[in-house]
Amino acid sequence: MTSTARRRAMEALKRQRTAPSLGPLFAVAEEGAAYELDTLDKVAVLFPLPLPEPFDYRASSSLGIEPGMHVIAPIGSRLVRGVVWGVEKNHPGAANLKAIEEVLPGSPLPAISREFVDWAGKYLVRPPGDLLRMVARSPEALLPPPTHIVLAPTGETPPKVTDARARVLEEAAKEHVSAAELARRADVSSAVVKGLVDCGALAKLEISEDPPFPAPDLSMSGKALSEIQTAAAGRVCAFVRDGGFHVSLLDGVTGSGKTEVYLEAAAEALKAPDAQVLVLLPEIALTQAAMSRFEARFGVTPVEWHSAIPHKARRRAWREIAAGRARLIVGARSALFLPYPNLRLIVVDEEHDPSFKQEEGVIYQARDLAVARAKLGSCAVILASATPSLETLVNAQSGRYAHVELPSRHGAAELPDVELVDLKIDAPEKGRWISPKLIKGAAEALLRGEQSLFYMNRRGYAPLTLCRACGHRMQSPETDSWLVEHRYSGRLVCHLTGFSMPKPKACPECQAPDSFTSIGPGVERIDEEVRAFFPQARIEIFSSDTTPNGDAVRSLVQRMEQGEIDILIGTQIVAKGHNFPNLTFVGVVDADLGLKGGDLRAGERTFQLVSQVAGRAGRHEKKGRALIQTYAPQEPVMQALAAQDRDAFFAAEIAEREAAGMPPYGRLAAVIVSAPNEKLANDAAKVMGEKAPVVDGLDLWGPAPAPLSVIRGMHRRRFLIRANRGVDVSAFLAAWASRVKLHSAVRVQIDVDPYSFL
Ligand code: ADP
């Protein structure tokens, strides 16, 4: 592609231009190309916009437009990038349509990606264009990669070799760089470099800025697996080898070697030429550790994809994935939507993790969509977890998924001893949150030269700030949520909307000075308390506030691994994947926290999180111990945690869900209606309620004010739908949405398979 053509295409990609009244009929070409008049095709184009369906255009048949090609076409007076969704060759009605403006040179979107967009749009009750937007995440990747010119020695000796010329040739032999950089490195003027080019001693090379990724080295082998691991790897590899759609639950306690096993499955999949493997991880912060393990196994860094990767890396990754050249991809949930032409295996690591659920924009559960994507594309899925989600476990027990188990920790490591601390009996001192038993546990670990972790799943200092004089509670503006005090930054923060303000000197209600009192604990307050007990210890907080990015996480994890920290105070961020060999004591400060709120999965999540946190203790030769503080030791979830009896806990939960027809024995969906004032919200919710279709086997509850009834000034009302398993909930929701016409200020959000009930 010439630089002019490239510039033109970039302009069209980047901004919306005004189209000529009737697009030039055969303008779809690079300069100089000429086409003869021939038949016209009708081309349906889907745009990455919230439009209900593709739009039709005409194009000369000689262009050979095929489904999946990326094009630019007019919508009204704008030119917009889209993807060809269908072509009807030689169509008599095509002449009356607007013309496609331009065909972009990028790899066509694979048929499987288009199928997935259509399927996911229907399932999630979203316009397919919204899904396409999630696929088409790097418009620049549709163009050939930009290039730059470097100089390389040709081997020819220049007629005259001065010292300066010799230095240039020496530098040029080390690395191929630009003329200016070469002059800088050799400390010569640009004329010297130019002279060497002119006499043929240096040649210009055009280098791509987005070179292909090196292929995984399949001759390398993994760790020598134990007998149990070998058996597990054998099973998952066989599923991969057999081809076709297959889901396995790789179920093993933390540290049992699940990662080692799925690395073998990845190696097996990659044996097929062109096969692609995707590993989804719940947290960007975890990718680095995973990347190193992949690198050790395959000799190359996998292709990385998540919201924080830089623009250029994104462009390169997208292009190489679409072309099928990127083979091994590690990413966050959004990586599922990339245009893999030949995906053979998807691994969802920590499959139970709630962060696979995207709650904003297009709401989806990446683990469930991964299974759907694999079904469409006939590939294998491995769902790995030490504490699988109840849905996955039920599927494994019913035989729909293969249940591949790794029952024990690798090597000498044993599971920790877990004990409940009844806060009604072993109460902390007044004004404190940690009972003497936990302090003793940490003190003993400290004496042995080992590390401790206090787990408190709340950021900041205190969840509520209250005026002692008038009782005023500091609340987030136009939002139903308290402001959380962050003492280290001196601010009050809304964890829901991100709003923050400096902590005021006086109460905004009664003007009493210094009248605020902090109610309840967050990690900062626990930190303060632990410091008071252990003034000599090296103590750090691990939360998203103290480790806002991957580098900060890496650095903290490294300090912990190298024994530079004695006591870590962490939120749920510590529960995920980290491996601290010298950590032997875990104190869970408030295990009851996650049980509040009456959420369907409250018990399940508490069990998963607390057992993952407890599982941080004693991952190597040293025995670990975990103490769990609770006011409700009799609750089944607490009993199960103490006994480390996952199966009994899940059996009870499963029985309850089955009796109530709750997932996975029934389906749920939520509809949230929000409006800028209460009346509008109530009216809209009422109209919606009246228009709901009546369907056998489907219950509709609501409308009711949402537990968070106002967010950022939007008043929220909720419906909850429960349906028997055979009912097509998506079709019901689509039919319902088509019946109602609401005020333009009203927003309706559909959440299929909801996880949040706020
Ligand atoms: P999981 O994914 O189940 O938490 P990992 O695969 O991360 O477990 O294994 C836990 C630790 O044990 C890692 O440091 C891993 O390298 C090590 N490990 C697991 N299996 C083996 C093995 N067969 N040989 C050597 N080290 C192993």
pLDDT in tens, 162-206: 999 999 999 999 989 999 999 999 999 999 999 999 999 999 999
Measured in angstroms, how far is the CA atom of residue 556 from the centroid of ligand 1? 21
> Per DSSP, what are the bridge partners of residue 57?
43
Number of Cβ within 10 Å of residue 217's Cβ equals 11
Higher pLDDT, 270 or 33: 270
Q: Name the percent of the chain lying above pLDDT 90.
A: 65
Query: pLDDT tens-digit profile of 386-444?
Result: 889 999 999 999 999 999 999 876 665 567 889 999 999 999 999 899 999 999 999 99
Measured in angstroms, how far is the CA atom of residue 219 from the centroid of ligand 1? 21
pLDDT for 19 beyond 60: no
- Find out whether 373 and 346 touch, Cβ atoms under 8 Å: yes
Best of 260, 286, 348 for a ligand 1 pocket test (most atoms within 8 Å of beta carbon): 260
pLDDT for 662 beyond 60: yes
Tell me the C-alpha distance between 357 and 365, whole Å.
Answer: 4
> Per DSSP, what are the bridge partners of residue 748?
673
- Find out whether 559 and 538 touch, Cβ atoms under 8 Å: no
Tell me the C-alpha distance between 684 and 260, whole Å.
Answer: 53
Q: In what order do the strands lie in the sheet with 583-588?
A: 417-422, 625-630, 583-588, 451-455, 567-570, 539-542
Q: Chain centroid to CA 153: how far?
A: 45
Q: Give the list of residues 6+ apart from residue 92 with CB closer than 8 angstroms, or none.
A: none
Tokens of 273: 């030429």
Higher pLDDT, 69 or 624: 69
Measured in angstroms, how far is the CA atom of residue 612 from the centroid of ligand 1? 16
Measured in angstroms, how far is the CA atom of residue 218 from the centroid of ligand 1? 20
Tokens of 70: 């990326």
What pLDDT, on the 0 to 100 scale, is given for residue 16?
Answer: 39
Q: Give the list of residues 6+ apart from residue 163 with CB closer than 8 angstroms, or none.
A: none
- Find out whether 326 and 276 touch, Cβ atoms under 8 Å: yes
pLDDT for 618 beyond 50: yes
What pLDDT, on the 0 to 100 scale, is given for residue 414?
Answer: 67
Tell me the C-alpha distance between 223 and 215, whole Å.
Answer: 20
What pLDDT, on the 0 to 100 scale, is given for residue 251?
Answer: 95
Q: How far is CA 431 from CA 443, 520, 540, 543, in A?
A: 21, 9, 22, 23
Tokens of 371: 């299974």
Best of 259, 292, 293 for a ligand 1 pocket test (most atoms within 8 Å of beta carbon): 259
What residue owns the CA closest to ligand 1's atom 20?
Answer: 257
Measured in angstroms, how far is the CA atom of residue 386 from the centroid of ligand 1? 13
pLDDT for 756 beyond 90: no
What residue owns the CA closest to ligand 1's atom 24?
Answer: 223
What pLDDT, on the 0 to 100 scale, is given for residue 24?
Answer: 34
Q: How big is the CA angle at 298 (ends 294 and 300), to the nearest 5 degrees?
A: 80
- Find out whether 8 and 15 touch, Cβ atoms under 8 Å: no
Please, which pLDDT band fits residue 307 given cuts at 50, 70 and 90?
Answer: confident
Nearest to 341 by CA among 330, 357, 325, 352: 325
Query: pLDDT tens-digit profile of 21-44?
Result: 333 333 344 443 444 457 999 999
Tokens of 410: 């690798």
- Which atom of ligand 1 is the closest one to the Cα of 225? 23
What residue owns the CA closest to ligand 1's atom 5?
Answer: 257
Measured in angstroms, how far is the CA atom of residue 607 from the centroid of ligand 1? 23
> Per DSSP, what are the bridge partners of residue 661?
none
pLDDT for 272 beyond 60: yes
Mean pLDDT value across residues 722-733: 94
What pLDDT, on the 0 to 100 scale, is given for residue 544?
Answer: 85
Q: Residue 137: what residue type?
A: R
- Which atom of ligand 1 is the closest one to the Cα of 349? 2
Q: How far is CA 182 from CA 155, 169, 201, in A?
A: 17, 9, 14
Query: Tokens 């081309």 label which residue?
Result: 43
Measured in angstroms, how far is the CA atom of residue 336 from the centroid of ligand 1? 26
Report DSSP state, residue 167: H
Query: pLDDT tens-digit profile of 554-585?
Result: 889 889 999 999 999 999 888 776 778 899 99
- Find out whether 63 and 30 touch, Cβ atoms under 8 Å: no
- Which atom of ligand 1 is the closest one to the Cα of 293? 16
Q: Give the list of residues 6+ apart from residue 3 with CB closer than 8 angstroms, or none.
A: none
What pLDDT, on the 0 to 100 scale, is given for residue 27?
Answer: 39
Work out the burial of residue 149: count CB atoms within 10 Å of its CB; fewer than 13 is exposed, 13-18 middle, 19 or more buried. Answer: exposed
Tokens of 111: 């048929």
The pairing of strands 625-630 and 583-588 is parallel
Question: Ligand 1: which residues within 6 Å by Cβ?
Answer: 223-226, 229, 252, 254-260, 410, 579
Q: Give the list of residues 6+ apart from residue 284 with CB closer than 8 angstroms, or none.
A: 306, 307, 308, 332, 550
What pLDDT, on the 0 to 100 scale, is given for residue 6?
Answer: 57
Measured in angstroms, how far is the CA atom of residue 296 from the centroid of ligand 1? 13
Measured in angstroms, how far is the CA atom of residue 259 from the centroid of ligand 1? 7
Tell me the C-alpha distance between 368 and 459, whole Å.
Answer: 29
What residue owns the CA closest to ligand 1's atom 19?
Answer: 257
Tell me the C-alpha distance between 619 and 616, whole Å.
Answer: 6
Higher pLDDT, 45 or 499: 45
Measured in angstroms, how far is the CA atom of residue 402 from the centroid of ligand 1? 22
Q: In what order do the strands lie in the sheet with 102-103?
A: 55-60, 40-46, 78-88, 70-75, 102-103
Best of 279, 404, 410 for a ligand 1 pocket test (most atoms within 8 Å of beta carbon): 410
What residue owns the CA closest to ligand 1's atom 15?
Answer: 257
Per the prediction, the chain carries an average pLDDT of: 89
Tell me the C-alpha distance between 141 and 339, whole Å.
Answer: 12
- Which atom of ligand 1 is the closest one to the Cα of 252? 3
Work out the burial of residue 361: count CB atoms within 10 Å of its CB; fewer than 13 is exposed, 13-18 middle, 19 or more buried. Answer: exposed
Task: Name the least confident of 41-55, 307-321, 599-613.
Answer: 599-613
Tokens of 216: 């995984």
Measured in angstroms, how far is the CA atom of residue 557 from the centroid of ligand 1? 18
Report the C-alpha dihedral over residues 656, 658, 663, 667, rounded to 10 degrees: -130
What residue owns the CA closest to ligand 1's atom 11?
Answer: 255
Query: Is the preceding peptide bond at 664 cis, omega within 30 degrees of 0?
Result: yes
Mean pLDDT value across residues 455-465: 91
Task: Name the least confident of 370-374, 547-551, 625-629.
Answer: 547-551
The pairing of strands 147-153 and 246-252 is unpaired
- Which atom of ligand 1 is the closest one to the Cα of 579? 14
